[in-house]
Structure 1
Amino acid sequence: MRHFFLLYVFFCSSNFTFSQNEQSPLIADDTIAQQKWVDSIYDSLSLREKIGQLYMIMVFSNQDEKTKLDNIKLIRDHKLGGVIYSLGGPVRQAKINNSLQAISKVPLLVGMDAEWGLGMRLDSTYSFPWNMTLGAIKDNALIERTGQQIGEHCKRMGIHFNFAPVTDINTNPKNPIIGNRSFGENRDIVTEKALAFMKGMQGAGVLANAKHFPGHGDTDQDSHKTLPTVGFSEKRIDSVELYPYKKLIREGLSSVMVAHLNVPSLESRLGYPSSLSKHIVTDILKERLGFNGLIFTDALNMRGVADMVQPSVDGNTSSTFLTSGTIDLEAFKAGNDVLLISEDVPAGISKIAEAYNTGEITEARLAHSVKKVLRAKYKVGLHDYQPVGLNNLVNDLNRIEDNLLYEELMENAITVVKNDNDLIPFQKLETKSFAYVELGDDSGTPFFEELKKYTKIHKIEADGFSDLTNKLQAYNTVIIGFHRSNDSPWKAYKFSEEEQRWISQISKTHNVVLDIFVKPYALMDLENIDDIESIVISYQNSIVAQEKSAQLLFGAIPSKGVLPVSIGSHFKVGDGIFNNSIERLSYGLPEHVGMDSKKLNKLDSVAKLAVKEKMTPGIQLLVARKGKVIYNKNFGKHTYEGKEKVHFDDIYDVASLTKILATLPLLMELEEEGIVSLDTKLPEILPEYNNSNKAQITLKSMLSHYAQLRPWEPFYYKTLDSVSKKPSETYYRSEKSKEFNIEVAKELYLRSDYEDSIQSIIKDSELLDRKRYRYSDFPYYILKKFIEYHYDRRLDELAQNHFYESMGANYTMYNPYHTISSKKIVPTEIDDYYRYQKIHGYVHDMGAAMQNGVGGHAGVFSNANDVAKIMQMYLQKGFYGGKRYFKPETINKFNTCYYCENDNRRGVGFDKPQLGDEGPTCGCVSMTSFGHSGFTGSYTWADPEEEIVYVFLANRTYPKAENNILLRENIRTKIQRLIYEAIDD
């Protein structure tokens, strides 16, 4: 009986019926305790203190001392109900919040306009994309996660109400205040996204606020400056503007913000703001829609309401201004619960108190709103208030899961709306010459730098259109990036007239991809888009948006987004072209592919130690997993004494990696074509071996280093003067001529016939005394001769034409000194035994140098990113960038250890994991993995089972090749072990 009595007392003391309480979004799970607390607090307050609970003032965390003292006085003297924060940093806000809470009789209800996040994270201006961007995403689970993670940020900052989501349906491209803040123009899509956002945020314990009721989307005026008019019929407003509110209210929406709008069909008094309209707030929102949550006014100091007219006695209008206190009273009488950012709080409290004392406002009406405020405070935990913890606050607002979500959101939002002739994703890169033209007033550098990871592309800068036209003549494909400020969603987004003309003219003569990093409405200014092959909308100019858009253009990630709004006659809401990935490497955070960022960062320490201890002047280090580059860093400098730091686009002499980056893939092609097989014997490809001691050697045994071939021959040594030990005049000249045309180093030319001598020395060399594993470069000298003879072309040309150009491996080449600046080439040694000069841009390996820099075993220069592309192609069983280079069975055939039973770990060309304790890997890789190492310090390894590609490039041979500490300390395999320890799935 006592239980039923308590329930009876609760219902009698409440201002709501049972059915209303059941539907109220402000009721906590412990209903009885909540009501007891609410009644106790309410009864302890004086009339003015009760009215004070209705007010929420604006606080800036970067405020000056006077403003700070004024706010303290307002809260202390008038027992205000809450604050709304804006601007400033998280630590300052938390400190201010704690101090204001400390002086409050009743804990403050804290709100913030965090529609797209707190705006306090260290790595971007705003935490998450704007609503327009989210509106392009089809997967609403991502929107719910966004709401949840924003809610978690708010909760960590002591924020109880987030004034989001915006539920305005943006059907007016000229809307100056909504625009990017709306999910779009389709009422169903807006509703779905707002609901998902609301559920996520309220699931995190932060109360949502749908705004701006009854609908601010279809206006072309700014309510901060005037009173916008929504001129639609009541039927239209009910079916469109109110549509999202109906569903969100049914699903437990906590609060609504009423806009300052002139809505003639809903409020007959001319120029009377919706926020002060009893018909709109009470009759429609509360009674017709059945909303029992908190109702906030929009900021009462906005001009749209402050400039309103006062109704006269006869019902007509006059131009008399309401006083600020009177505005507060009118807003409360209309049915609002919380008066947001009043111009004069004391005056407003006095006006409402006066109305209460005269009976104009009843006790029931006052208790109705004040108790709702108190219920909200209990629901968010203010009955057991705890200050905001300052420890790790910044780190807690900069979580890896937030960065992960941001990347995922942008990947899902970027929208392809036009793609004639399937220009994107770009394929057949060998047929395209790319130029990038940057338009707009903001930086497109992240976009351009990301594009450069995929192919050779030049940024074209010109003084005028004539100059631009001349410079573009050398290119057939132009990527135009339109970049405008990402600082806020209200920044300018349109093309200038000159930019429109440039786009039009370039499109007439080139294949053009126009990628805009602004809201879609920018395209409305383009009169004719017929000549533009492809149009991509990337929505925002954030770094992540630019990087992901570049990845999409090259097919590293699929295109998934759809238009949230229509763009004039060009495109309609919902338009979007979906392209699949063509399996090029993408770039992103380790956690996307089951790796731990913190553990992976341990690689930094090992690489830095290697540089510090002078094991190598510099390092390029890359890790990819599941087709995504997740770690790509540079350490040190080109030389110990120099100032040139290692950059992404610097290239290294990769030494013996040449074997699997150039010679082996060309041989694999020939094997697929039936020109050779693994059982082919040397005389079958080079008849001069017919009567040699190598006549029975097969390609399989030779490339498995199981053919009794000698490891190495110092071919250069016989060309040195016997006395001076310097290049002999018999073999060398300082100037190039027909007889001396092999360039072994700067101003040093070897006799033209000496390549034949090298081949003869190899053919006539003695075999080792028995068959066992012995690493040898000889097979690659032999294969180079065969491959070049078969194709009648040089090995470097073949590698470029067959692989590097189509893969976009534009940093991979032989003899780089011919084509790129020496500043981008890392030197390998100061040679004091053969060439007697700094080896810079010329191949380090002496035998390769004696072949004009083009060896089958050495000679390739590359950067880590390009090496990763080729290794990823192998890992993907011969497929990369939309092109099949090899059949899967070919990869398997060459990646097989045929002599493991003979204690030989090697595959055919590929190195493989050790069979015992000693070997080329950390011992933690799978036996299906493969790779190679190089004398200069290079190393690469791919593991099909863990889908990992690892690249380590160094110039440990500088200044002297005898420096072998990098190898003795097993730096490369220590890093490899750390990579595997970072696997977290």
Structure 2
Amino acid sequence: MIFTTAFNSYSQNTKNPLLSEDIELQQKWVDSIYGSMTLSEKVGQLYMVQVMSNQDEANKEKISQIIKDYCIGGIIYSNGGPYRQAKLNNELQELSKVPMLVGMDAEWGLSMRLDSTYAFPWNMTLGAIKDNKLIEQTGRQIGEHCKRLGVHFNFAPVVDINTNPLNPIIGNRSFGEGRENVTNKALAFMNGMQSAGVLANAKHFPGHGDTDQDSHKTLPTINFTEKRIDSVELYPYKKLIKEGLSSVMVAHLNVPSLESKPGYPSSLSKYIVTDILKERLDFQGLIFTDALTMKGASDFSETGAIDLAAFMAGNDVMLMSEDVGLGISKITNAYNNGEISEERLALSVKKVLQAKYKVGLHNYQPIQLENLSQDLNRLKDDALYEVLMESAITIVKNENDILPLRQLETKSIAYVELGDDSGSTFFNELKKYAKVHAISADSLSQLKGKLQPYNTVIVGFHRSNDNPWKSYKFSEAEIDWIEEISKTHTIILDVFVKPYALAELKSIDNIASIVISYQNSEIAQQKSAQIVFGALPSQGRLPVSIGDHFLMYSGISTNALKRLSYTIPERAGMSSEKLKKIDSIANYAVKKKMTPGIQLLIARSGKVIYNKNFGKHTYEGKEEVGFDDIYDVASLTKILATLPLTMELEEQGIISLDSKLSELLLEYGDSNKANITVKEMLSHYARLRPWEPFYYKTLDSITKKPDAKYYRSSRSDAFEVEVARNLFLRTDYQDSIPEIIKDSELLSKLKYRYSDFPYYILKKFIEEHYDRTLEQLVQSHFYESLGANYTMYNPYHNISSKKIVPTEIDDYYRNQKVHGYVHDMGAAMQGGIGGHAGVFSNANDVAKIMQMYLQKGYYGGKRYLKPETIDKFNTCYYCESDNRRGIGFDKPQLGDAGPTCGCISMTSFGHSGFTGTYAWADPEEEIVYIFLANRTYPNAGKNLLLRENIRTEIQRLIYEAIEE
């Protein structure tokens, strides 16, 4: 049979990819081994037998006997675990006269076959990435894993061009449907893997991408012309062969245009294997059959005969023969009968031996078992996986630029989970950015009713990520639900499956935005949520077309909005190993009862790289600290609430740093504080007293309990200031506190002295200026748009007490557990809304505000404050007077003692709180550090956190963890 019309001559005078740099030594070794073998042993080198490390002893013994009896050339590992495989491999290699080649299907990593090993994204996901250097790095790291486990051949990359969406066996295993994209990705993957010393294998020749049948179960037919196959299916092979591809796997396919025998598998076709692959494509590397036990081949001929037919067709290695002994006998007899020449046998056997030399089997070393698990699951693998998903996730529709989500204060967001797998990681990540409620329903009508309060609905479609063959389609009901709710709501549809799922939708007209996240891994879910909210840009491009909806290479780029993202330390130049020391200190603090619990967060360069919780809400309770639990942040309120509002007013020219109190509040005109300026006051350089126990004057002089003259157990117009549960202060006492402050004596000497009074004074001015409460102002000006939805005054009004960490068992004023109410007595007497205290928050929200400061007043696509304003307030104006403070912000110590570790830049700023809280930002290292605790529970007592420098010691370790 002759096919010449459609095929050009592909000969590139390619170099044998199996040759080593030391060709002479290699050839000497190959000739020596070949010359020492019997005919049967030579033929045995043509076989690679399947082994599973989780097999029973009987099967293990069977494989051992095959190795000893037939001198097989290699083994291909399948199911099992890495340690078991390594141990078994060492045992089996000891049995072999010539060390065996070890192969594996590790297309997306060893986890394709083994438990407890790393899974990189599938090829379809990688196909969405524009930067092929990332694909090369993926091949490199998979190669490193293979090599560590003693694997010499990885049967990857798949170079099938998946032009058929219904393909049941390739699909996600393909880089896509574009021949250029598939070729470039495969080449990058090949180069990366072979640079690690592991030989690549392109499969499934001549092309398994455009079929709707599975060759494991039947013999699929490829019904295309020679010209089409040449221009599409063979395109990747041409380039990879030219660039040094080590091996090719030939598929079991029926290709009528290339093989005239009806139903004759491509793996047995001399024309396909020899004439096209070896001669026209000039391929000199190893040629493997696909598994000979697959139905596409095994149904064709009698046992053993197929092995001979495959070898006669031009294959070098018979993969997973049904009967190795019978196959070897058939080939040996053919050799003895003159059907196979010595030259033909030597060609294949010596290629096998060349491959063995190239991968180092001439100097075989057993696999080291020590640290195997750690070496196969590295931080660098996590880092790469994150980058890959960030680069792959694709926005294919984005009406009115809804993504990334902005103006969070205008959004009421619901999350609807579809599919049969978990989307909890996605939902939890969404909640880091905004208030998002999960909505579930049993019927469409129920769903529509529950969604009425929301104007934005994020629909996550989650199906199993176990392997690329799992079902990816919507149910009919899910299709109807999406169509109906998209008519009445702004819908963001995020699919965590392969793109073809979207082809099932009846219409996408009403869907505002569509995101393809490709896989349902935890990292895919995290990164997709970060892209939705603009913590990361979107970069991906569709590797396939989707019905009539989207063309191949579609994709909408979006820019990041400078919101915090979440990643591992190494991606921000930090060491995970060194940061583990922080765990020890935090656990020590909890164990020694310095505080019942801790929330701890570290961010660098806009990336949260450490976010952990320790301990419980209380020593006696069972409630462990959670990420969405909130703490009374005490004096952090100063920089989280009062200061940003003050900075706004200064920008607007309403006040200046030189404004005097007599100019802000008329009643100060005749006071001893009339000429104190904002700058002096907020620098704690104004002779103001540190604080005043306002509550003390409202206690009964004898019982020391709240005096009935001032308090009631129930609310009324005359007693409406709620200071604690069932305890209400006289309404008119609100006027007394400012009067006491105004009339208070000044300190005798001007020096740095920390005081709460400035924040009482500013609170009064700000509220009078706007005629709104401080709580209302800071929510509408900052928290709502920042997505700081866990930050609030008086949380008992808004959230479950189970999410609020108690602060103290008060036996001196309120005589109850302070839980959900502000700890600070002065703030409590202002209805929980103080300028100096009263805010509750979690570490994540506090970090957002500190990051906004660090980014010179910009966050989430919005400018809150001007850079010059941040600089103006983050300045120490009285350093020469031994006063380290900025305007509102605390600053690093000037001498030996102070609020930081002493290892931090002088441009850094932050604050600490009486309850054990601490927030600090360093512009030079771009670090934000948040420490929240309730060290005051059950009583304030001795501040052991401060005494043992727990917070600043952790800060020191943060800086030690910076990698040079």
TM over 0.5: yes
SS in 2 for 1:346: helix
Note if contact 2:892-2:909 (Cα within 8 Å) is conserved in structure 1. yes
Unaligned runs of 5+ in 1: 1-18, 309-321
Match of 2:942 among 963, 967, 976: 963
| Counterpart Cα distance in 1 of 2:396 and 2:112 | 33
Match of 1:598 among 577, 586, 590: 577
SS in 1 for 2:688: coil
| Counterpart Cα distance in 1 of 2:420 and 2:139 | 31
For 1:202-247, what per-residue CA distance to the aligned partner results, in whole angstroms no more than 9, with x for missing partners? 0000000000000100011000001111111111111111111000
| Counterpart Cα distance in 1 of 2:389 and 2:802 | 35
Aligned equivalent of 2:37 = 45
Aligned equivalent of 1:404 = 383
For 1:459-512, what per-residue CA distance to the aligned partner results, in whole angstroms no more than 9, with x for missing partners? 001121111111101111000000000000000000000000000011000000
CA-atom RMSD in angstroms: 1.1
For 1:859-892, what per-residue CA distance to the aligned partner results, in whole angstroms no more than 9, with x for missing partners? 0000000000000000000000000001100100
Identical counterparts, % of pairs: 76
Aligned equivalent of 1:891 = 870
SS in 1 for 2:613: strand
Letter in structure 1 aligned against 2:71:
K
Note if contact 1:229-1:261 (Cα within 8 Å) is conserved in structure 2. yes
Match of 2:441 among 462, 486, 492: 462
SS in 2 for 1:529: coil
Letter in structure 2 aligned against 1:345:
V
Note if contact 1:812-1:866 (Cα within 8 Å) is conserved in structure 2. yes
Give the Å deviation of 1:963.
3.2
Aligned equivalent of 1:852 = 831
2:636 counterpart of 1:657: yes
2:771 counterpart of 1:779: no
Letter in structure 2 aligned against 1:631:
Y
| Counterpart Cα distance in 2 of 1:324 and 1:450 | 55
2:186 counterpart of 1:194: yes
2:107 counterpart of 1:115: yes
| Counterpart Cα distance in 2 of 1:807 and 1:819 | 18
Match of 1:648 among 599, 617, 627: 627
Give the Å deviation of 1:21.
9.7
Match of 1:236 among 215, 228, 236: 228
| Counterpart Cα distance in 2 of 1:517 and 1:213 | 30
CA 1:532–1:497 in 2, change beyond 3 Å: closer, same or farther? same
CA 1:742–1:888 in 2, change beyond 3 Å: closer, same or farther? same
Give the Å deviation of 1:88.
1.1
| Counterpart Cα distance in 1 of 2:68 and 2:13 | 32
Match of 1:637 among 616, 637, 651: 616
Note if contact 2:822-2:838 (Cα within 8 Å) is conserved in structure 1. yes
Paired residues for 1:713-752 under 5 Å: 713-752=692-731
SS in 1 for 2:259: coil
Match of 2:495 among 497, 503, 516: 516
| Counterpart Cα distance in 2 of 1:934 and 1:42 | 78
For 1:909-964, what per-residue CA distance to the aligned partner results, in whole angstroms no more than 9, with x for missing partners? 00000011110000011110000000000000000000000000000000010131
Give the Å deviation of 1:705.
0.2
2:901 counterpart of 1:932: no
Letter in structure 2 aligned against 1:237:
I
Aligned equivalent of 1:56 = 48
| Counterpart Cα distance in 2 of 1:678 and 1:262 | 83
| Counterpart Cα distance in 1 of 2:905 and 2:206 | 62
Paired residues for 1:138-149 under 5 Å: 138-149=130-141
Letter in structure 1 aligned against 2:408:
L
Match of 1:24 among 16, 31, 38: 16
Note if contact 2:638-2:888 (Cα within 8 Å) is conserved in structure 1. yes
| Counterpart Cα distance in 1 of 2:645 and 2:530 | 28
For 1:746-772, what per-residue CA distance to the aligned partner results, in whole angstroms no more than 9, with x for missing partners? 000001011110000000000011111
Give the Å deviation of 1:20.
10
2:476 counterpart of 1:497: yes
| Counterpart Cα distance in 1 of 2:891 and 2:321 | 73
| Counterpart Cα distance in 1 of 2:436 and 2:558 | 23
| Counterpart Cα distance in 2 of 1:615 and 1:835 | 23
SS in 1 for 2:416: strand
Note if contact 2:116-2:373 (Cα within 8 Å) is conserved in structure 1. no
Letter in structure 1 aligned against 2:541:
V
SS in 2 for 1:231: coil
Q: TM-score, normalised by structure 1?
A: 0.96
Give the Å deviation of 1:123.
10
Aligned equivalent of 1:159 = 151
Letter in structure 2 aligned against 1:238:
D
SS in 1 for 2:253: coil
Give the Å deviation of 1:122.
10
| Counterpart Cα distance in 1 of 2:108 and 2:518 | 14
Aligned equivalent of 2:265 = 273
Note if contact 1:21-1:27 (Cα within 8 Å) is conserved in structure 2. no
Match of 1:75 among 56, 67, 74: 67
2:298 counterpart of 1:306: yes
Aligned equivalent of 2:933 = 954
Aligned equivalent of 1:324 = 303
Note if contact 1:215-1:242 (Cα within 8 Å) is conserved in structure 2. yes
SS in 1 for 2:487: helix
2:661 counterpart of 1:682: yes
| Counterpart Cα distance in 1 of 2:51 and 2:299 | 24
Q: TM-score, normalised by structure 2?
A: 0.98
For 1:96-145, what per-residue CA distance to the aligned partner results, in whole angstroms no more than 9, with x for missing partners? 10011000001010000000000089998752000000000000000000
Note if contact 1:20-1:292 (Cα within 8 Å) is conserved in structure 2. no
| Counterpart Cα distance in 2 of 1:745 and 1:122 | 58
Give the Å deviation of 1:667.
0.6
Note if contact 1:924-1:980 (Cα within 8 Å) is conserved in structure 2. yes
Aligned equivalent of 2:792 = 813
Note if contact 1:121-1:398 (Cα within 8 Å) is conserved in structure 2. no
Aligned equivalent of 1:609 = 588
Note if contact 2:157-2:202 (Cα within 8 Å) is conserved in structure 1. yes
Note if contact 1:202-1:208 (Cα within 8 Å) is conserved in structure 2. yes
SS in 1 for 2:429: helix
Aligned equivalent of 1:367 = 346
| Counterpart Cα distance in 2 of 1:787 and 1:431 | 24
| Counterpart Cα distance in 2 of 1:563 and 1:301 | 35
Letter in structure 2 aligned against 1:66:
A
2:201 counterpart of 1:222: no
Unaligned runs of 5+ in 2: 1-10
| Counterpart Cα distance in 1 of 2:600 and 2:348 | 61
Aligned equivalent of 2:562 = 583
Letter in structure 1 aligned against 2:504:
D
| Counterpart Cα distance in 1 of 2:723 and 2:609 | 38
Count, aligned residues? 954
Letter in structure 2 aligned against 1:91:
Y
Match of 2:319 among 334, 337, 340: 340
SS in 2 for 1:523: helix
2:858 counterpart of 1:866: no
SS in 2 for 1:324: coil
Match of 2:814 among 835, 847, 855: 835
2:943 counterpart of 1:943: no
| Counterpart Cα distance in 2 of 1:923 and 1:58 | 61
2:262 counterpart of 1:283: no
| Counterpart Cα distance in 2 of 1:158 and 1:764 | 82
SS in 2 for 1:240: helix
Letter in structure 1 aligned against 2:221:
T
Aligned equivalent of 2:533 = 554
Aligned equivalent of 1:691 = 670
CA 1:86–1:164 in 2, change beyond 3 Å: closer, same or farther? same
| Counterpart Cα distance in 2 of 1:956 and 1:400 | 34
Match of 1:450 among 410, 429, 436: 429
Match of 2:518 among 539, 555, 576: 539
Aligned equivalent of 2:882 = 903
Aligned equivalent of 2:286 = 294
